[in-house]
Chain A
């Protein structure tokens, strides 16, 4: 239990006058006359949307189609807000989304950013992300699914509900599977409570396609189908460098071509999971790095502790058995 507000425990009036006054002020914004004009730049700065978009650009490498779509959504919401100030009620846009892409292309990462962005733009009230999978939605016996799904939906209200590997919800081979029930409740809430929550489905492209073909109602209720492309080799390198920086490591200049070579070789192998594979490669390089330092013994300095050398990557199995 977290302590909120004053530390005083007990009954009685709590000071809350200032918040109430601010709320009242916000409520009495009157509609502008038709000949008025709004400063776009000012409105934009006020919403702090650029901070989120810039962070998205800075911290996520590549993903051009995804970033473009998110920029478009941000622009639409901003314009809608200004239209509302003139008294035009255009209804809330449908923002349910589907993220498809190979493993490790950043679907979850983007979903987290999306929740924050939508909160900044005032589309969702709280801006939290509830990430669930089939287990959290589908029950184990008759009558268990509906309350379970509703519970999750209620928890996600005011934020974004992220359903990872959404295609597992529907099992074509078992017609008595409870997943269908969860889908029906989900559809109903997606349609009726559009103001209260944004649903993001994520999964691999081919499986999501067959999921949608067996649930046409779901496909048509999702306005944005965003495909996450695979990363190119240089993008993966940039991602690797950023990951190392975040962990407090840097790459030895001599190791750079080795790392590039590693990424190239790993990409050609089966079960390549884009950024996730790069992360794992770095994790393993850290292990070899630590082992190498201990084996060498003697004194170490800061540079030795933070630099990953070529040898740390050359030990990987993608380079074949070591000579």
Chain B
């Protein structure tokens, strides 16, 4: 099951050139980029691990792409996303966030039903990948 999180997630995977164009737009807006990765892409897991610090003062997408590729090299079987933060007053939030790498195989989620008192049913989504230990969740 293909996970759809962030911008562009219903489009085909962006190529590196397309990512560079998006980053160029982001930098033109004056938003610093940061890179995050995880192997637990549950929709409720909003805090992914940071890859290095956010990158300030960059002018050109090549610098961001360099870090993306470094992260891909270190974590080939993880989800990697690129965030752009808009620090203007009145916004001060993530302005753009999209996935730049995903594992080759995404096993998806199962729905768990728990029966509570009075036959009420509580639903949980459980990622199959989470059954394995961290770092070993997605086959390369």
Contacts and interface: CB of A to CB of B under 8 A. Distances in A.
| A-B interaction | yes
Nearest to A189: B66
B91 A1 contact: no
What is the interface residue range for chain A against chain B?
Answer: 20 to 34
Q: Which secondary structure dominates chain B's binding surface?
A: loop
A27 to B, nearest CB: 11
B66 A126 contact: no
B55 A154 contact: yes
A154 B63 contact: yes
A158 B67 CA distance: 15
B59 A159 contact: yes
A125 B66 contact: no
Interface string B86-99: 01111100000000
A193 B90 CA distance: 38
Interface string A188-229: 000001011100000000000000000000000000000000
Contact of B63 (A1, A3, A128, A155): A155
B28 interface: yes
A193 B64 CA distance: 13
A155 B61 CA distance: 10
Contacts of A155: 57-59, 63
Contact of A4 (B29, B52, B60): B29
A297 interface: no
Contact of B59 (A3, A126, A147, A193): A126
Contact of B88 (A9, A125, A128, A195): A9
B66 A154 contact: yes
Contacts of A10: 90-91
Given A155-B57, A157-B59, A4 B28 contact: yes
B16 to A, nearest CB: 13
Nearest to B25: A16
A197 B62 contact: yes
B60 A193 contact: no
A154 B90 CA distance: 29
A321 interface: no
Contacts of B62: 125, 154, 157-158, 193, 195-197
A5 interface: yes
B107 to A, nearest CB: 34
Contacts of A126: 59-60
B108 interface: no
B127 interface: no
A2 interface: yes
Contacts of B103: none
B60 A3 contact: no
B91 A157 contact: no
B37 to A, nearest CB: 18
A315 B30 CA distance: 51
Interface in B29-56: 29-30, 52, 55
A6 to B, nearest CB: 11
Contacts of A9: 88-91
Contacts of A2: 30
B59 A5 contact: no
Contacts of A4: 28-30
A41 B87 CA distance: 46
Contacts of A128: 59
Contacts of A197: 62
Interface of B: 28-30, 52, 55, 57-64, 66-67, 87-91
5 contacts: A9-B90, A9-B91, A126-B59, A154-B63, A157-B60
Given A10-B90, A158-B62, A158-B63, 8 more contacts: A1-B88, A3-B88, A126-B60, A157-B59, A157-B66, A158-B59, A196-B60, A197-B62
